[in-house]
Structure formats: structure tokens, C-alpha cells
Amino acid sequence: MSVRLPVSLSAYRLLTRAATPLANHFLKRRLAKGKELEPRIAERRGETRIARPDGPLIWVHGASVGEMLAVLPLIERIKARGFGVLVTSGTVTSAALARQRLPHGAIHQFVPLDTPGFVDKFLDHWKPSLALFVESDLWPNLILSSAQRSVPMILLNGRLSERSFARWQKMPCTIEALLQKFDLCLARTHTDASRFSELGAPRLSVVGNLKLDVPQLPVDESKLKELSIALTGRTVIAGASTHPGEEKTMIEVHTRLKSQFPQLITMIVPRHPERGAEIAALAHEPGLACMQRSHGKLPERTTDIYVCDTLGELGIFYRLAPVVFMGGSLVHHGGQNPIEAIKLGAAVLHGPFIANFAEIYAALDGAKGADLVADATRLAQRAGLWLKDSEERNRVVTAGQKTVASLGGALERTLAALDPYLMQLRLGNQTDA
């Protein structure tokens, strides 16, 4: 017996259906802003030229780069078991990552715009056997149409920030109707699980954070060697995954530290590489020498700020910077994932706004495996200390790596939770054969 939808979801479906004729105009605007890829624009309408592979197909959906990085090891394990894998995401940067990092045979598509017609085209073509939604990217039509087709759905690495939780509390019937469609919710933390439970998720399990189990970032050895040679004799710090406002702070930190470290170079890796020129302009204002990596240039001996506005190269920068400030934490964003930098031997600094990774940073700070800096003054003081005192810096790195190792295990627990579903699909496929 079908369950009647809340008025809010019924209205959403009607409105998105009515808005479908506006989709091409919307997509053209996004294309002009560099937020879509023209050769693949049809995927946003649920269309594709790629054939569905035979057999059970596991569909994994995550919003962008962070979600995809979190589930890459899981995708590799599922693919190794012989299942077809379809991965969807919504950003150009995640598509680039998929091209570089997905295992052979896994298919990437842009997620369709959330209108009933586009979603139906997508589902009618791909006919997923199991849907795995990553973290909190919950599109109503995608969920409701999948449920209508009896596609089992599981929420992976489930998280709800305090802000999202408060927002959903204002629409309790809406979120409960969506969460009730999920067979299982695998939450990162007990806090996340409590929030999902309060909002109506029926079946919950706390398995830990998949982002703690990501392997070391890969690296192009020739590019690593090339940049390493260019940085020979230089004192290096980095600001990683920075957001607007934080680049100015990193430039101020560089100016404060340069008198102590005449050979200092600061690498700024923006969260959104298209902001490279904007950041370079900020560096030029106080008269600093700046170069952009996207222009194909290596830093020179006089370069102060090296804007690393490229994709897929964090593995290089983390290996070369002994001290890394993790962005998204001096502005109200919620912080960025420090795990990859720590695994590659960087001593990590972060700001106070870290709600997206609160438990991880709390464990790291408590073990003295990272440090909180509230402003440019504190950031410069702590970075300067660690650059001078390699023994202290190494103690921080060791404590950070031990903490990360102790918090791991989410990948195996997630696989164990998925095993009954995968086994059922395998048995069903054998019966059909």
C-alpha cells in the first residue's frame, strides 16, 4: 500500500515537473559559469549514450569531490567483487576526479536535475539494483522515484551538520518521509545517528567516518620531483582547500613570517581552482611575487606566493609542505578534511569553524596531533614555531597519524553492513542466469 506524501513533497514534485521547460536555460547559465561540461550536458536531463552493463548494478551517489574521495576505496572493493558500479555526482571537479581515480569499468555520470521526468529517464535506463547515497545529498525526486521502483537505498557515511539538522527540524514531515524510504542509514558518529533518528530514520548503525580510511593521495612522481627541485632550499607552508577570506589571511601570515624565514614560499591551494586569478591579484596588492600553477609555471627563487589552482595535485603539495593550514575553518564553512594531509606527514593547523569534522578535530587537538588557530597572528606564531622546531613538528605529525589510525575501520564496518545486500544481489543474479 502506497503511503501518502506530505503536502510539501507533493508540492515539490509538482513544481519541479512544471519547471522542467526551464531546465535548458538553467543549464546554459551554469555552462557559461563553467559549472557544466557541454559534451555531457544531456546527462543532466537523464540521458546518456553509455549502455547499462549486464548484471547487478550498484549506484553510488555523492554531491562532489569530498564525498567521492570518501567512497573511492569502497567502490574499489565493490568493483573487485564483480559488481557493476555507476557513480553520480553534480560538479565538474568531481567529474575530473572520477576520470582520474575511479577503478576500470566503473561508470561516472552527472546526476540528473531533480525533476520527475529527468529522474525517470535516468532510472529507466540504468535500472540500479542498489542505491548508495553518500553523506547528506538527499534529492527528493531521486529518492521518491527510486523507492517507487523498489530500489533498496542505503545512506553511507551519513552526516547532518548542526545547521542542516536545525533546518530539517522545521520540516519534520518532509525529512521523515524521505528517510523512511531508506533501508539503512550508516552514520559517521553517534551525534549524526542521534540527529537522523530524531528526524525519523528507521534503521541506524554507527560505523565511523569513511574519510578516515582513505589511502594516501596518489602522486605523479615526475611532477613531484619537478616541484621538489624548484623548492630546493625554500621554507614551505601551505594553505589547503581555502575559501574566500582565508587567502588574504595566508598572505598576511606570509608577510609576518618572511623576516624570520627569508626563503619562505607559501603555497595556496584554493577549494575552487577557478579562483586562481583572484587570489593572485590579492597577493600582488602588498607587492608579493606570485605565480599560478595553472599557467604551467614552476615557482622561481623570488616567488612568495604560489597559487596551486589545479585539480588532483594535493598529493604533491601535502608531500612538500611540512606545515599545512586546512581551509574552510577561519570562515563559516565547517572545515575541510585534514586526514589526507596528516597521512602524508604534514603538521596541521585549523581555525575554529570545523563543524563538518568536529569529532575528528576534537580527537586530533586532544592528542596534540593538530592545533587550533583563531586568526592570522596565532597562525603565524604556530607555523613559525613548527618551522623552527622540527622535533616539535614531528611530535605533532606522529600524534596526528596515531590518532587517525585509531579512528579508522569504517570501511570494513560499512562493507559488513552492505554484505547481506550484495549477497542477495549475487544470489538473485545466479538464479536469473
Domain with CATH 3.40.50.11720 in the chain: 55-208+409-426
Q: Quick one: CA dihedral 374, 379, 385, 387, positive or negative?
A: positive
- Which helix (H) or strand (E) segment holds residue 256: the answer is helix 246-257
67 is catalytic: yes
End-to-end CA distance of the chain: 31
Catalytic: which of 36, 43, 67, 246? Answer: 67
pTM recorded for the entire structure: 0.84
**pLDDT one digit per residue (tens) for the chain, 433 residues:** 456 899 999 999 999 999 999 999 999 999 999 999 999 999 999 999 999 999 999 999 999 888 999 999 999 999 999 999 999 999 998 999 999 999 999 999 999 999 999 999 999 999 999 999 999 889 999 999 999 999 999 999 999 988 899 999 999 999 999 999 999 999 999 999 999 999 999 999 999 999 999 889 989 999 999 999 999 999 999 999 999 999 999 999 999 999 999 999 999 999 999 999 999 999 999 999 999 999 999 999 999 999 999 988 999 999 999 999 999 999 999 999 999 999 999 999 999 999 888 889 999 999 999 999 999 999 999 999 999 999 999 999 999 999 999 999 999 999 999 999 999 999 887 666 5
Q: What is the largest CA-CA distance in the chain?
A: 73
Q: What is the DSSP string of 342-410?
A: HHTT-EEEE-S--GGGHHHHHHHHHTTSSEE--SHHHHHHHHHHHHH-HHHHHHHHHHHHHHHHHH--H
Domain with CATH 3.40.50.2000 in the chain: 221-407
Nearest CA to 305 out of 328, 283, 272 is that of 283
- Select from 1.10.3210.10, 3.40.50.11720, 3.40.50.620, 3.20.20.70 the CATH code of 55-208+409-426: 3.40.50.11720
Give the whole-angstrom CA distance, residue 176 versus residue 120: 23
CATH superfamily entry for domain 221-407: Glycogen Phosphorylase B; (3.40.50.2000)
